Structure 1
């Protein structure tokens, strides 16, 4: 039976998952893409190289973010948030967010060679040099959650 997650369950799911999906729209096209993220209880923080997702969010910063935990087709939880994309330009804030993302994701990286492929610099001095790393946050306006547990 489909039911609603309460606020505590919504917060727990947002904090526990590693990968979510951003839905963005501009110029009549909708784009959904998975991203690594960190949730601090207020905002969602992500990073990306420049590309379609960043271009679209710069044109239309109103986005949707979804995260789920699926055990099987009748045992799952999902949260959908709506918010506003905001690029982080302050270098100190960028470094702080990068460190939070790195700390969150590092336990799941099985091979050090994938860090560059996933947009992580080898060191703080590499940010914005060899990799055009765009850090951004999603300022959440609304959250909802559903689950099924049989």
Structure 2
């Protein structure tokens, strides 16, 4: 049976998952990339270093976000949402987002205290300061979801 997810089910999936995909488009090029994130109040929060995704979203902040919950090939739920990218500049807000990411991701990490690339480490000096973390949010404006249940 195929069907549509309601708003509550869509929000549950977005809140439960930790990895989604951002689709961005700039200068005639479309790029889709997985990101770790957390979700709250119709906003996706994430961090990155400077690269293709960040450069494209800076040029065109209108993005698409997609996430799945797949049990089997015939039992899955999928959400596609559209929104607007915005870098978080305020240091207090950045700290709150990083804490939210740590809280969401670290239970799934094999060595939770040793991920300097993600800005997570016991020793701050382990973080490569040349790779400055960019903390951002995507405020979702439209969300849709589908499911299949066997």
TM-score, scaled to structure 1: 0.92
User: By how many angstroms is 1:77 displaced?
Assistant: 0.1
Cα distance in 1, alignment partners of residues 123 and 32 from structure 2: 29
Cα distance in 2, alignment partners of residues 7 and 34 from structure 1: 23
Give the secondary structure class of the aligned counterpart of 1:111: coil
- Shift of the 30–124 alpha-carbon distance from structure 1 to 2, 3 Å rule, reads farther
Match of 1:5 in 2: 5
Cα distance in 1, alignment partners of residues 131 and 24 from structure 2: 23
User: By how many angstroms is 1:42 displaced?
Assistant: 2.2
Cα distance in 2, alignment partners of residues 58 and 123 from structure 1: 31
User: By how many angstroms is 1:111 displaced?
Assistant: 2.0
Match of 1:100 in 2: 100
What is the root-mean-square deviation of aligned Cα atoms in Å?
A: 2.0
Match of 2:44 in 1: 44
- Shift of the 124–97 alpha-carbon distance from structure 1 to 2, 3 Å rule, reads farther
Number of positions where the alignment pairs a residue of Structure 1 with one of Structure 2: 149
- 1:74-89 equivalent positions in 2, closer than 5 A: 74-89=74-89
Give the secondary structure class of the aligned counterpart of 1:95: helix
* 1:60-113 deviation digits (Å, cap 9, x = unpaired): 000000011011111000011100000000111001100000010000000247
Match of 2:59 in 1: 59
Cα distance in 1, alignment partners of residues 62 and 128 from structure 2: 25
- Shift of the 124–44 alpha-carbon distance from structure 1 to 2, 3 Å rule, reads farther
- Shift of the 61–3 alpha-carbon distance from structure 1 to 2, 3 Å rule, reads same
Cα distance in 2, alignment partners of residues 114 and 30 from structure 1: 33
Where do 5+ consecutive residues of structure 2 fail to align? Answer: none
Give the secondary structure class of the aligned counterpart of 2:115: helix
- Shift of the 84–131 alpha-carbon distance from structure 1 to 2, 3 Å rule, reads same
TM-score, scaled to structure 2: 0.92
